[in-house]
Structure 1
């Protein structure tokens, strides 16, 4: 029948990629991530109380963090959809739960497949090539985990040494580090194309406008939603520019 010819046939390796056993094997990894998040949240709440923070401030901080995570989560979700189509649901779920960077995962999978002469989306990808791609993604991200595991405990000593014992400089150094991290991630996007430049510019202006409005009128909920709202505005502007103008450079 003619309609059967129109139905796309999934590559053979996708049977393995979406198998029940692979779902079960990734479940412990994701469970550890969720357990870590619960432990960190509990520790942060208890430490905040020991520092003298009120219940209201703790709840405000929790809501601010939750809302601020919406923007990055949307980007991760969009990337997960692309990753599911190439490496299957279980591996995409596991990898983005641990690392959360599609910008790393897709090139790593491509590198693994290229050793067998394949590329993402090709027909005829073998199970061996798929397994190599998964190993490339897993081992390639191990470095970040090792640095976090063995280096995080020394960060406080480094920050104290940089401030030279001046407690007033510590929040300034922390703020500067955050600004530097955001600037590092944005530096590659600003020159990537017109949609990216527009998204960064409008998102930044939206953030400044929302914070100015929140400070001038003392609107607490607006401070909490400012980052998430600015990310959403920037994302929408980038999509509009891409659809209407495309990339001019």
Structure 2
């Protein structure tokens, strides 16, 4: 009797959110993403050979990309646990397979159910409110997919026009674009609070130290693991700041 009183009661809509039919409906989407990743990997490998890259360099690039993906994957996995508790396993699996942004998915789902006066996790959420949340997540993420589908082929032409035909500027423009993208994502974290600021600062310093060590001693494996190690060190630093001093702002 005490157990029934203490045990949390799952909202009624979660029966639909975790239904077998919904699991089956997400499988084609996930398979399409896996097929796409396989085709991209195969194309990149073949193009690398055509460009004259050696097998050693191709394997090094593959390992570097694989290792660098570990950090972001852990963050997505942690976010998926939160998303599973609110919209169910199938939708969380499908959405984070396609987009991978918990920072978008959770607010989109909250926006959907809020139109009916609910908040995620409420016991009284109806099936209609849940369906609206799923549609909000799906339709809200189509913009990124459409830009990727119809705009990617024009990116190289656009980059060439910016460089005005100067091939020496192309690596500079590409590096500047990457730095701008990282700076955009980090700017919100730096101002989010003390733990976030500490995490970014320590992670950045760790990355610089690892790259300096790799270049000065010509250690290839450090170059490959540098991003993953720096992200992990930054994560530990953020947790340490949160536990010891908390947030100052």
Give the TM-score taking structure 2 as reference length: 0.99
What is the RMSD of the two structures over their aligned residues, measured on CA atoms? 0.6
> What does residue 21 of structure 2 align with?
21
Whether the 8 Å contact between 2:110 and 2:119 is mirrored in structure 1 is yes
C-alpha displacement of 1:40: 0.2
Q: Which structure 2 residues correspond to residues 49-128 of structure 1 after superposition, within 5 A?
A: 49-128=49-128
Whether the 8 Å contact between 2:11 and 2:121 is mirrored in structure 1 is no
C-alpha displacement of 1:218: 0.4
> What does residue 211 of structure 1 align with?
211
Comparing 192-201 and 235-244, the one that deviates more: 235-244
Structure 1 residue runs of 4 or more that deviate by more than 4 Å after TM superposition? none
What is the distance in 2 between the residues matched to 1:198 and 1:180? 20
Q: Which runs of 5+ in 2 are unaligned?
A: none
Q: Which runs of 5+ in 1 are unaligned?
A: none
Comparing 84-93 and 234-243, the one that deviates more: 234-243
In the alignment, is residue 157 of structure 1 matched against residue 182 of structure 2? no
C-alpha displacement of 1:2: 2.1
Secondary structure, counterpart of 1:172 in structure 2: helix
What is the distance in 2 between the residues matched to 1:239 and 1:2? 36
> What does residue 188 of structure 2 align with?
188
What is the distance in 2 between the residues matched to 1:64 and 1:118? 44
Secondary structure, counterpart of 1:124 in structure 2: coil
What is the distance in 1 between the residues matched to 2:59 and 2:18? 39
Question: How many residues get paired?
Answer: 249
> What does residue 2 of structure 2 align with?
2
C-alpha displacement of 1:29: 0.4
C-alpha displacement of 1:8: 1.2
Secondary structure, counterpart of 2:155 in structure 1: helix
Comparing 118-127 and 63-72, the one that deviates more: 118-127
C-alpha displacement of 1:46: 0.2
In the alignment, is residue 43 of structure 1 matched against residue 43 of structure 2? yes
Secondary structure, counterpart of 1:4 in structure 2: helix
Secondary structure, counterpart of 1:236 in structure 2: helix
